[in-house]
A = this chain, B = another copy of it.
Amino acid sequence: MRYHKIPDETVRRLPIYLRGLMVSAGQGLEHISSQSLADLVGVNAGQIRKDFSYFGDFGTPGVGYNIEKLAREIKKILRLDAVRQTALVGVGDLGSALLAYPGFRTFGLDIVAAFDIDPKKVGRIVYGIPIEDLSRIGTLRQRDISLAIVAVPRAAAQAIVEKLVAAGVCGILNFAPCKVRAPRRVKVITLDIAMELARLPYYMPAGGLSQKVSGGQGRGTIHSVA
Query: Which A positions have Cβ atoms within 8 angstroms of B?
Result: 1, 11-12, 14-16, 18-19, 40-42, 77-80, 84, 86, 92-94, 96-98, 100-101, 103-104, 106-107, 109, 141, 144, 146-147, 149, 162, 165-166, 168-174, 177-179, 181-206, 208-213, 217-218, 221-226
Interchain CB contact under 8 A, B194 and A78 = no
- Within 8 Å by CB of A194, from B103, B171, B172, lies B103
Determine whether the beta carbon of A103 is less than 8 Å from that of B223.
no
Chain B residues with Cβ below 8 Å from A188 are: 225-226
Give chain B nearest CB distance to A16 CB in angstroms: 7
Q: Using A183-B221, A202-B11 as known contacts, say yes or no to A210 and B107 having CB atoms under 8 A apart.
A: no
Instruction: Tell me whether A107 and B185 are in contact (CB under 8 A).
Output: no
**What DSSP secondary structure best describes chain A's contact surface?**
mixed
With A15-B198, A179-B224, A226-B190 already in contact, the answer to whether A210 and B168 are too (CB < 8 A) is: yes
- Residue in B16, B203, B206 whose CB lies within 8 Å of A187: B203
Q: How far is the CA of A225 from the CA of B211 in the complex (A)?
A: 43
Closest 9 CB pairs of A and B: A103-B194, A187-B203, A79-B201, A93-B97, A171-B200, A168-B209, A107-B198, A42-B179, A97-B97
Find chain B residues with CB under 8 A from A79 CB.
201-202, 204
For A200, list chain B residues within 8 Å (CB): 147, 171-173, 187, 189
User: Does B144 contact A223, Cβ atoms closer than 8 Å?
Assistant: no
Knowing that A15-B192, A40-B179, A185-B221 are A-B contacts, what are 7 other residue pairs whose CB atoms are under 8 Å apart, sorted by A's residue number? A15-B198, A141-B209, A171-B200, A183-B223, A187-B203, A187-B204, A191-B191
The residue that A93 contacts in the complex, of B100, B146, B186, with Cβ under 8 A, is: B100
Q: Chain copies in the assembly? A: 2
The answer to whether residues A182 and B223 also contact, given A11-B199, A12-B199, A107-B197 and a CB cut-off of 8 A, is: yes
- B171, A201: Cβ atoms under 8 Å? yes
Cβ distance A75 to chain B, nearest Cβ, rounded Å: 9
CA A96 to CA B188, docked complex, whole Å = 26
Q: In this complex, what residue of B is CB-closest to A226?
A: B188
- Bound-state CA distance A224–B188 (Å) is 9
